[in-house]
Structure 1
Amino acid sequence: MVPHLFSAAGSRPYDLTVLGDPCMDFFFTAPRLPLTGEKCLGRMPGSFSGGSETNMACAASRLGLRVALCGHVGDDRHADHLLEDLQLFGIDSAHVMRLPGTASASAMVFIAVDGEKSLIYSPLSPAPVLGERLAGLIGQSGVFFSAPYELTRFLAYSDIARGAGTDVAVDLEPAMVADQAAYHRLLRGADLVFCNADSFHRLNGISANVDNMRALLAFGPRLIVVTLGDQGALCVGREAVASHPGFRRPAVDTTGAGDCFAGAFLACALRGAGLDQALTYACAAASFTVSSIGARSAYPQPHEVSGLLLQSP
């Protein structure tokens, strides 16, 4: 079992509440990104629903969790598609509100020949305050998940969660923290931290290994999970360590793989799995996602993940 990391949601309506805005992703592929002033030929495979937090929510829901999403869309032509996609994944989207006179969040995603991505993100503007609506959802959930770009607001939500006995999970990126003091405050507000190896290095100035990850637990998290691309993932907790080399597949597009990993990890851990099992399950689920363009285009069904695990030694 994961010691004292998650409490069962029990009679609460949701296993997981996610804070995030659905995003419309516009994809382009090219042999490489153009230099300044240069034009490159490529193609546009299409547009797909995305948004990091929303992707994670969709993965968790597809893999068996009861998930609510709290956020906003605009009133443009993309909003209906974004909301319909949430319903296809079984998300409770009753708390995703339309903002009049506003464009939905969007991103330009550039895919290289090896499947790795670069992107430009345009968030909703202005970012609305959710207040009591989100606070009520947090108290009805076993876990609250956020990508905490606004530290003060995140810490307020974290306090609400802890007062309600709700665990706090975050996905960290360097853009979220202005300095080390802010970084450490953010860590104190989280129980479970996800990040990728590049983000870990940029945030800490050191590589992700057991000792370096364990040192961060002193700031408050119970568990830190670092994804290592096609090398798998590493988890370090206060009482346990786990690693997995990953399930390698040819990569068409890595967009959404880390989000699926986080959703799958939570889906497995909230069912009472230990670190090794949750990590293996998450790596297996994430391996499916790289086979198609679009963040959620290849998000697996539970039987697909189970089938892969049965085939693996």
Structure 2
Amino acid sequence: MRDGEFPFFRLRLFWSCAKVFGRKGGRAMRVGCMGELLVEIMRDKVDVPLGVPGVFLGPYPSGAPAIFADCLARLKGEVFFVGAIGRDDFGFLVLERLQKDGVDTSGIKILDDFTTGVAFVTYFSDGSRRFIYHISRAASGQIFPEDVREEDFVKVDLLHVMGSTMLINENCRASYEKAIRIVREAKKRVSFDPNFRPELLGKDRARELFLPILRESFIVFPTEEELSVLTGEQDPLKAAEKVLSEGPEIVAIKQGKRGSTVVTKQGVYTLPAFPVEEVDPTGAGDCYCAGFLAALSRGMSVEEAGRFANAVGALAVTRKGPMEGAPTWEEVKAFLERF
């Protein structure tokens, strides 16, 4: 038990999680997700700017919502995805990867008039990264409210919202707003990963868009920087308390090489990272979210879910490519047995 945590409140949170993640007939939790499908092309070394001629690696199937969906499917979750690709080799690369790993891709449309989205990325020694995106005017940005069918989203147990998709354009925002309305009217829950991208939209506008989603969410998965964007508070724990005061019950702070901190009204859980050799950090946060939800759906406590998610994120960085390190449930369990 953590400081300030009382058994009664811990039990109340357990039952709240059970209500969200309990399934009839023992079926897997069904999660709805929507957003950008793209390929990622990256520098082969750190500290090389994108504007300098040199070597790039890829294309790799990517897009934050797609990475999340793929990882959750590999962890035995049931995932339904809405998105768009172009009728081109990049699009089919992403689509085939999702299908191979078990994602329900019936909500993905293939467009003749738009090419598949592309992201160019480079990393620097200080942990920062730079992107150049081809998204809003690519197939990735062609998601519209009519693509969000009520008959699909009333069947999900939880809707996972990606902030990066909300930042793309107005039609993507309207699509997610419709999905959230359908899910909440069906008395299902929402998880929210802000996934803030300053290359897509400024902080003030992002905060304006994110706050209504935050208030509809059961779980929020921010980084420390994103907590500051959401609340204006620099201290992560104080910022997390502000988020909890808006309605969410769990704030799982992704802290990269330091692991994660899970904050609830019942307690604070500081969970160290696992030691691994980092090859490519792309997508680790998306995989963390998938791991956390997969663990909760299997009946783990919030603290156990955070530790499991740390393991998923650790394994995700051990291979080059955003989806390449996404582990299976069995691989995560075997990894945890070593610690």
Are 1:107 and 2:107 an aligned pair?
no
Say whether residues 1:309 and 2:336 are aligned partners: yes
Superposed displacement of residue 88, structure 1: 1.5
Q: Aligned pair in 2 of structure 1 residues 13, 164: CA closer, same or farther (>3 Å)? A: farther
- 1:137 corresponds in structure 2 to 152
AA matched with 1:45: L
Bigger shift: residues 213-222 or 2-11: 2-11
Q: Deviations over 1:255-301 (max 9, x none)?
A: 01001100011111111211111000000011011122100111112
What is residue 162 of structure 1 aligned with on the other side?
184
Greater shift in the superposed pair: 212-221 or 9-18? 9-18
- 1:60 corresponds to which residue? 72
State yes or no: 1:128 paired with 2:128.
Answer: no
3-state SS of paired residue (2:217): coil
1:80 counterpart (82, 87, 92): 92
Q: For residues 63 and 261 of structure 1, what CA distance do their matches in structure 2 show?
A: 11
Structure 1 residues 31 and 14 mapped into 2: Cα distance closer, same or farther (>3 Å)? closer
Task: Identify if the C-alpha distance between structure 1 residues 68 and 211 changes in structure 2 by more than 3 Å, giving closer, same or farther.
Answer: same
The worse-fitting range, judged by mean Cα deviation, of 41-50 and 274-283 is 41-50
Q: Does the CA contact (< 8 Å) of 1:117 and 1:254 recur in 2? A: no
Q: TM-score, normalised by structure 1?
A: 0.89
Deviation at 1:212, TM superposition (A): 2.5
The alignment status of 1:235 with 2:262, answered yes or no, reads yes
Deviation at 1:158, TM superposition (A): 1.7
Q: Which amino acid aligns with 1:198?
A: E
Conservation of the 8 A alpha-carbon contact between 1:168 and 1:192? yes
1:179 Cα deviation after fit: 6.2
Cα distance between partner residues in 1 of 2:66 and 2:208 = 28
Q: How many residues align?
A: 309
Superposed CA deviations along residues 162-221 of structure 1, whole A, max 9, x for unmatched, are 111221111104447616554432321222111212222343333353333022112121
Q: Report the Cα offset of residue 146 of structure 1.
A: 1.7
Structure 1 or 2: larger helix share?
2
Match of 2:299 in 1: 272
User: Aligned equivalents of 1:200 and 1:75: distance in 2?
Assistant: 38
C-alpha distance in 2, partners of 1:206/1:290? 29
Q: Report deviation, 1:49.
A: 0.2
Residue 108 of structure 2 corresponds to which residue in structure 1? 96
Q: Which amino acid aligns with 1:32?
A: D
How far apart, in 2, do the equivalents of 1:158 and 1:208 lie? 29
TM-score by length of structure 2 reads 0.83
User: How big is the alpha-carbon RMSD for the aligned residues of Structure 1 and Structure 2?
Assistant: 2.5
The correspondence for 1:10, drawn from 20, 24, 39, is 24
Equivalent position SS for 1:298 = coil
Residues of 2 paired with 1:107 and 1:63: CA distance?
26
- Say which of 209, 226, 233 aligns to 1:199: 226
Report the counterpart of residue 244 of structure 1 in structure 2: 271
How has the CA–CA distance of structure 1 residues 89 and 212 changed in structure 2, closer, same or farther, with 3 Å as cutoff?
same
1:214-268, Cα deviation, whole Å (9 max, x unpaired): 2211212121111011000011123343220111222221001001100011111
Please give the alpha-carbon distance, in whole angstroms, between the structure 1 residues aligned to 2:28 and 2:313: 27
Residue 319 of structure 2 corresponds to 292
Q: What one-letter code is carried by the residue in structure 2 that aligns with 1:140?
A: K
1:37-75, CA deviations, whole angstroms, 9 ceiling, x for partnerless residues? xx6464223211000011001111101111111111112
- Residue equivalent to 1:43: 55
134 and 193 in structure 1: CA distance in 2 versus 1, 3 angstrom threshold = farther
Using CA pairs under 8 Å that are at least 6 residues apart, name the structure with larger relative contact order, 1 or 2. 1
> Unaligned 5+ residue runs, structure 1?
none
**Uncovered stretches (5+) of structure 2, i.e. residues with no partner:** 1-12, 167-171
State the Cα deviation string for residues 70-128 of structure 1 (Å, max 9, x = none): 11111222121111111111111111111221011111121346776432222153533
